[in-house]
Chains A and B, each alone.
Chain A
């Protein structure tokens, strides 16, 4: 079967190459038109309870794309005309920024920050600094006092030391284009930015704006990595084919994948470039294996007519099974990620499965077919020969596998897997450190974020909703108000929760104001009657939109908004667990508690989804791998055998993530999932070669030697090349990409090591039947004699 395919491909090579070229040309037109952007809504698991709450209430109680701008004076106070003027300019300017929700701009200079005060006519509310700035020193002093005595402003919007003030602005989620918002806000801030005031801007649109900002740098890194890969391949393989064919395989599969995704309407996330690199590295790896095998065959036959055709056919036939198996196993392991309810991961899965699957054509078939065209295959382009030192490493591998040291290898591997497996349990779900893990701690964004969180109650918000649709006025009820109040007190005990706010914080101010400002009445009323009338008074003095952030128009649903000082997985988990604990102890007689909106709410949902599917992803990917190997080799032992390198590379990589504090979040999950299938390719090539050698009548020792010196050479070349080029990513301005580059390098390194050193020992010690048995039916038995050396 396999040799028939090989024969066919080589015989009809013009036809094969021609149709592939045509297809590539067509798909490249589509590939060039793929959209590169981050779509926020794709990150949300839309069926999750929290996300439903978020979607329902985000327009009223605040979405997850809130941007916070802090104005900070180095000394003195913000109550200076120049500073307030800047705050006002930016506040007004924000209305012009695209996708801004104009009702959700809050600052000293907006109409929304008001003071409740008693007057001769009863009670009134007055904007603090709207529409006009304070005109003179007296008015400035008045403004300062009204800020200081207003707990809803002093603390939340003006820092306790009076050196900083905030503007918060929310966006209409479905319209927000991060790159656009980022540049518009930066331009707006630049207009008022001089050295007198430090202006800091944070929020998800800004964060992803930074990611987009670094796309050109990322592209340079990709180019550099590619260049390094090619140079190293050229030096190590000493032939042009060793450089050009892997490059071609990578490019063709990229074009196909991007083209197909464009046709399927899937866009490309800038952060996913890492995944693209990972898959391209597979393409290079497979292609190098085939070129390497081609070279090995050439060494066995003298130059002559049709040598290239012959060697190409042998390479294709020999590597068809491990190559296909590697690709299919990779693709199938990745496909498991599609079970995740997060659209971004589903789309990414489609992208990567398509991409990996194209390797079957671009690497496994196209490379040998093109090899068959080579006219003078013998000889090298340059005299530098690095093969001898590499062969010494391979000899070391052979020695490890065939000496008594093999038991030590197996023993050590078992210990390493056990220890790293246990250590990997420390892996954190969600972000493991304060600040965004996408950027370096010393990046502008993370420094800004830390500065704002240090001065204020917290940038990131979560809201929970009390109430029920259709129950008008429920929020005014005593039960709900008291529950809110008790809940706020309860949740604020967590140090990472900087503060909370709800309508139950506003009523006490009204109450105290009605009682001539007596603070002994700075509390909710005892009875429904009192609270109802307080609410009535508040209603009568507020304008449309004032109550929005606390309750909906019918007062059927009210929100408690919590401000978080960081968004670490542990912080969010603890907060959600405590919210649930409180709800369990305090059921509402009417209406429901609804979790949870805002950025922290949706992050909680994403983290819960990732956590609950973590075991599922790893277990099912392993299962798929085991089943595929079992079917292909018709042996359950084969399934077990190929789990070994996968388990080694995964436990080690997860331990590395745990050690470096890289959490499992929406950005790292795809890389981790892709890595599961990654560990196994190299092992396929080595084991399959051993099998073939045995089938051809070799002794186990000779088979291992041959396998390591042919397939093993391909492994060592591709692994070293790819490790060095992925390490280039360490220079990225995006911490995420740098860490993922390092992670991939480790992944490749560990899987190469386990394929070269561990697998031969395991095979030699346990001698599985699917490799050593069935001598009566060698896979390539009929092909063998033709190429045996004389």
Chain B
């Protein structure tokens, strides 16, 4: 307790107390000098009141044990847990398939596909996702105008919007089959009319912008794959087994022609009311010139599946798409067809093609634009 060496701890080190007796400039000199100087015995520090000293010394006594206890505690009980960073899923995901596509505004399309996704995409690569009330895969989308649209998909799900996509609502009481309910395509016409096609003979019609739906035909074991609405109550339908239906009275009565081919027809489109083209599996192309009563098969030089056909009014030509990056094209009379692949190294399938001026949008395993020579996929 009498040890003067500890005293500096308890007093201001800067004060010129006897403990600091050594002039600073001494240090570092020849050690004989220092030695001689140091031989002068350390003068004892003036006694301080005992109470002060023990108070000040308390931390010195406690601190080490506190540190030891702290180290022990940290060593035994502190187990950091891994924390990962957060990941924002991209709008266009690797796994997405986009089965349906529709032009929304110049340079902008809406696409639908896996996981209940409805996206708005810009030609510049901008992508945004709308909130939807389903996770079922959506197969097709169609727009009446800037605010009204309808999308259909697996399990008979039908979504509609009346506010340009801000809210999507599932249509209630959609007629269902016990067996299968995938809806493949939807087409719209003026006045809020829409027709959706699908499995088990599903042919559903809405007249109120997609809110309510009624059957146009009884259930049967055939998948209707596409429909064309020609106006004035005229409806043309294509489907499995090469079947083709026609109605001129909004679906009240139907006429069925002899299937010109045995394989499935996947899509149909018309130029005006008379000339139409239907395409299907194994490279089938059928052409009608009488509004869909008589169909004639046209040979094109491919057996790849074709999934869609569209009339490009601006370009005055037909354009279609299918499996393995295939496109088909013909002039307005639909006689001479040319075909090739979008890109030698992109053999993706596409279920939809939508002409948009000098470009055409393709949707399927990926989404992109094609200008007749160059294929520009969006995203990765």
Q: Mark B48-85, 1 if CB is under 8 A from A, else 0.
A: 00000000000011011101100110111011111111
Q: Is the CB of A519 within 8 A of B95?
A: no
Size band of the A side of the interface? 35 or more
Question: Does any Cβ of B come within 8 Å of A174's Cβ?
Answer: no
Q: Is the CB of A492 within 8 A of B38?
A: no
Q: Is the CB of A626 within 8 A of B154?
A: no
Question: Does any Cβ of A come within 8 Å of B94's Cβ?
Answer: yes
Residue numbers in B under 8 Å from A540 (CB-CB): none
Residue numbers in B under 8 Å from A516 (CB-CB): 263-264, 281, 305
Q: Is the CB of A493 within 8 A of B22?
A: no
Q: Mark A150-185, 1 if CB is under 8 A from B, else 0.
A: 000010000011100000000000000000000000
Residue numbers in B under 8 Å from A613 (CB-CB): 79
Bound complex: CA A746 to CA B328 (Å): 69
Question: Does any Cβ of B come within 8 Å of A573's Cβ?
Answer: yes
Q: Give B101-128 interface residues, CB cut-off 8 Å to A.
A: 114-115
Q: Is the CB of B63 within 8 A of A705?
A: no
Bound complex: CA A162 to CA B28 (Å): 75
Q: Which of B167-175, B252-260, B343-351 contacts A (4 or more CB under 8 A)?
A: B343-351
Q: Which of A211-219, A396-404, A714-722 contacts B (4 or more CB under 8 A)?
A: A396-404
Q: Mark B11-32, 1 if CB is under 8 A from A, else 0.
A: 0010000000010111110010
Residue numbers in B under 8 Å from A616 (CB-CB): 74-76, 78-79
Bound complex: CA A705 to CA B87 (Å): 60
Q: Mark A557-576, 1 if CB is under 8 A from B, else 0.
A: 00000000000001001111
Give the residue name and chain of the A residue nearest to B184 (CB).
Answer: A520
Question: Does any Cβ of A come within 8 Å of B340's Cβ?
Answer: no
Q: Is the CB of A773 within 8 A of B3?
A: yes
Q: Mark B116-155, 1 if CB is under 8 A from A, else 0.
A: 0000000000000000000001010000000000000011
Q: Is the CB of B347 within 8 A of A615?
A: no
Q: Is the CB of B74 within 8 A of A619?
A: yes
Q: Is the CB of A395 within 8 A of B28?
A: yes
* Besides A145-B347, A519-B365, A765-B8, 11 other A-B contacts (C-beta < 8 A): A148-B324, A519-B97, A519-B99, A520-B99, A573-B85, A577-B82, A616-B74, A626-B68, A639-B64, A698-B38, A772-B6
Question: Does any Cβ of A come within 8 Å of B37's Cβ?
Answer: yes
Quote the shortest CB–CB distance from A769 to chain B (angstroms).
6
Residue numbers in A under 8 Å from B264 (CB-CB): 516, 518
Q: Mark B319-354, 1 if CB is under 8 A from A, else 0.
A: 000011000000000000000000001010101000
Q: Give B196-236 interface residues, CB cut-off 8 Å to A.
A: none
Question: Does any Cβ of B come within 8 Å of A248's Cβ?
Answer: no
The residue that A639 contacts in the complex, of B68, B80, B154, B307, with Cβ under 8 A, is B68
Question: Does any Cβ of A come within 8 Å of B93's Cβ?
Answer: yes
Bound complex: CA A640 to CA B68 (Å): 9
Residue numbers in B under 8 Å from A402 (CB-CB): 22, 24, 26-28
Q: Is the CB of B97 within 8 A of A614?
A: no
Chain A CB within 10 A, most for which of B6, B87, B351: B87
Bound complex: CA A573 to CA B81 (Å): 10
Q: Is the CB of B82 within 8 A of A576?
A: yes
Q: Give A518-549 interface residues, CB cut-off 8 Å to B.
A: 518-520, 522-523, 526
Question: Does any Cβ of B come within 8 Å of A517's Cβ?
Answer: yes
Give the residue name and chain of the A residue nearest to B180 (CB).
Answer: A526
The residue that B87 contacts in the complex, of A395, A493, A607, A699, with Cβ under 8 A, is A493
Question: Does any Cβ of A come within 8 Å of B368's Cβ?
Answer: no
The residue that B3 contacts in the complex, of A523, A576, A611, A769, with Cβ under 8 A, is A769
Question: Does any Cβ of A come within 8 Å of B166's Cβ?
Answer: no
Q: Is the CB of B27 within 8 A of A407?
A: no
Quote the shortest CB–CB distance from A713 to chain B (angstroms).
13
Say whether, besides A149-B324, A398-B28, A570-B85, A489 and B95 are in contact (CB < 8 Å): yes
Question: Does any Cβ of A come within 8 Å of B89's Cβ?
Answer: yes
Bound complex: CA A626 to CA B8 (Å): 24
Question: Does any Cβ of B come within 8 Å of A203's Cβ?
Answer: no
Bound complex: CA A773 to CA B2 (Å): 10
Question: Does any Cβ of B come within 8 Å of A608's Cβ?
Answer: yes
Question: Does any Cβ of A come within 8 Å of B300's Cβ?
Answer: no
Say whether, besides A516-B264, A516-B281, A519-B323, A706 and B31 are in contact (CB < 8 Å): yes
Question: Does any Cβ of B come within 8 Å of A620's Cβ?
Answer: yes
Q: Is the CB of A626 within 8 A of B64?
A: yes
Quote the shortest CB–CB distance from A660 to chain B (angstroms).
22
Q: Is the CB of A611 within 8 A of B87?
A: no
Q: Is the CB of A489 within 8 A of B71?
A: no
Question: Does any Cβ of B come within 8 Å of A467's Cβ?
Answer: no
The residue that B13 contacts in the complex, of A499, A573, A765, with Cβ under 8 A, is A765
Bound complex: CA A505 to CA B357 (Å): 37
Q: Is the CB of B67 within 8 A of A517?
A: no
Say whether, besides A522-B97, A570-B85, A607-B82, A640 and B27 are in contact (CB < 8 Å): no
Q: Is the CB of A399 within 8 A of B13?
A: no
Question: Does any Cβ of B come within 8 Å of A204's Cβ?
Answer: no
Q: Mark A741-778, 1 if CB is under 8 A from B, else 0.
A: 00000000000000000000000011101001100000
The residue that A702 contacts in the complex, of B31, B347, B364, with Cβ under 8 A, is B31
Bound complex: CA A115 to CA B74 (Å): 57
Q: Is the CB of A520 within 8 A of B80?
A: no
Question: Does any Cβ of A come within 8 Å of B35's Cβ?
Answer: yes
Q: Give A307-339 interface residues, CB cut-off 8 Å to B.
A: none
Quote the shortest CB–CB distance from B98 to chain A (angstroms).
11
Residue numbers in A under 8 Å from B60 (CB-CB): 637
Bound complex: CA A402 to CA B3 (Å): 20
Bound complex: CA A162 to CA B347 (Å): 12
Q: Is the CB of B27 within 8 A of A574?
A: no
Bound complex: CA A622 to CA B67 (Å): 10
A-B complex: 6 closest residue pairs judged by Cβ atoms:
A699-B38, A577-B84, A402-B27, A636-B64, A399-B28, A772-B5
Q: Is the CB of A620 within 8 A of B28?
A: no
Question: Does any Cβ of B come within 8 Å of A494's Cβ?
Answer: yes
Question: Does any Cβ of A come within 8 Å of B34's Cβ?
Answer: yes
